[in-house]
Amino acid sequence: MDPLSPPGADSRPRFALVLGSGGVRGIAHLGVLRRLVAEGLPPDALVGCSAGSLIAAFYAAAGIEAEELVRYGTSITARHLVAYGLVLRRFPRGWESARARCEWITERLSLLDRCSVDHLSFGVRSLGLLTFDVHSRREVFVATGRETTPVTLGDAVRGSAAVPILFPPRRIHRGGVKMCLIDGGVSRTLPVHLAFESPVSARRVLAVKLPGLPGFQEKRPGYFRCLQDEFKERLILLEPKVPRVKSLFFSEGDNLSLVEAGERALTPEVLDRIRQWL
- 179 Cβ contact list (under 8 Å, min separation 6): 133, 135, 136, 140, 150, 151, 159, 170, 171, 172
> Could you give the angle at the alpha carbon of 207 between the alpha carbons of 30 and 28, nearest 5°?
25
Average pLDDT, the chain: 85
The Cα 81–Cα 254 span in angstroms is 15
Which of helix, strand or coil describes residue 89?
A: helix
Report whether pLDDT(9) > 70: no
Is the pLDDT confidence value at 19 over 60?
A: yes
Helix axes 66-75 and 252-265, enclosed angle (nearest 10): 140
Residue 46 pLDDT greater than 90, yes or no: yes
Average pLDDT over residues 27-43: 96
Q: How far apart are CA 34 and CA 209, in angstroms?
A: 17
Q: Is the pLDDT of residue 62 over 90?
A: yes
CB–CB of 187/215 below 8 Å?
Answer: yes
Do the strands 15-19 and 45-49 form a parallel or antiparallel pair, or are they unpaired? Answer: parallel
Residues in the chain: 278
pLDDT tens track for 153-194? 989 988 887 766 567 788 888 778 899 999 999 999 999 999
Residue 166's nearest CA partner among 103, 100, 81, 80 is 81
pLDDT at 135 over 90: yes
